[in-house]
Structure 1
Amino acid sequence: MSGGAARDRGDETQKMAVMNAWLDGVCAELGVDRSVLDANTTGLLALINHVAHGPSRPGAPVTAFLVGLAAASTSTDPAEQAQAAAERIAAVERLVAAWDPAASAPAD
C-alpha cells in the first residue's frame, strides 16, 4: 500500500473522529438521543450525497433536516424515531432515484 493511501485512510479516520465529537456535542446541546443518529448516519450521509449530486446541492442539508424533522415528529421514543428516520430516508431516496431533471428545468 502506498503512503498516500495510508495517509488518506488516516485523514478519513481523523475526519470521522472530529465529526463524531462534534455530533456528540450537538446531540447533548439539543437533547437528541445519539442512538437515533447512530442508527441513521450512514443512510443520511448517502442521502445527502445523492441529493447534492442529483436534484440540488444546496437542497441536500435541508433535505436531511426535513427527514429528521419528520422522524422526530413521530414519537419521543428513540427506537421509534430511528426506525422512522430510516423509513423516511428510504422514501426520499426513492424520490431522488425517480427525479427527472428535465421536469424541473425552467422553461426557455
Structure 2
Amino acid sequence: MNSEEHQRLSDWAVNLSGDLEIASDEFHAAMNIDGILDLAGVAAHTILRPAAPVTTFLVGYAAGLAVAAGTAPSAAIRNAEATSRAALAAEGDSNQPRATRRPGTAEQ
C-alpha cells in the first residue's frame, strides 16, 4: 500500500470511528492500521481468507469488552491481538483444525 492509500485508509478509520461514536483519544492513539492488516494477513494465510475480517472483528469485540470491564483501551487492544496471534500460531503448528471446537469444551 502506498502512502496515499495508507492516508486514505487512516482517514476512513477516523471517520468511521466517529460515526460509530468511538471518541476515545487513547483508542485512536492505540489504533495501528499496519498491525491490523498484518493480523488479517496472518489469519488469511493460516486459516483461510475469510478468517481475516472475522479475526479482526473478534479482536475488536474482545478489546471492547475488556474496555467496558475497566481495562485501558491500549492494553485491551494489545491483549486481544496477542491472544489472537497466539491462537493463529497454535493453529499454524497444528494439523488439526480448531474451528470445530465449541467454546467451553475441551479439545479431544
Q: Which of the five TM-score ranges fits, normalised by the shorter chain?
A: 0.7 to 0.9
- Aligned in 2, Cα 1:53/1:102: closer, same or farther, shift over 3 Å? same
Aligned partner of residue 46 in structure 2, secondary structure: coil
Give the drift of 1:38: 4.0
Question: For structure 1, which runs of at least 5 residues remain unmatched after alignment?
Answer: 1-10
- Aligned in 2, Cα 1:34/1:58: closer, same or farther, shift over 3 Å? farther
User: Hey, which of these two has a bigger chunk of helix by percent?
Assistant: 1
1:15 to 5, 8, 11: 5
- Aligned in 2, Cα 1:37/1:49: closer, same or farther, shift over 3 Å? farther
Identity fraction in percent: 25
Letter in structure 2 aligned against 1:104: P
Q: Which of structure 1's runs of 4+ aligned residues deviate more than 6 A?
A: none
Letter in structure 1 aligned against 2:96: A
Q: TM-score, normalised to structure 2's length? A: 0.74
Deviations 1:42-65 (A, max 9, x none): 332221110011112101111111
Q: TM-score, normalised to structure 1's length? A: 0.74
Letter in structure 2 aligned against 1:25: N
Instruction: Output the aligned Cα RMSD.
Output: 2.6
- Aligned in 2, Cα 1:80/1:45: closer, same or farther, shift over 3 Å? same
Contact 1:52 1:60 in 2 (8 A): yes
Give the drift of 1:35: 3.8
Rg (Cα) greater in structure = 1
Question: For structure 2, which runs of at least 5 residues remain unmatched after alignment?
Answer: 99-108
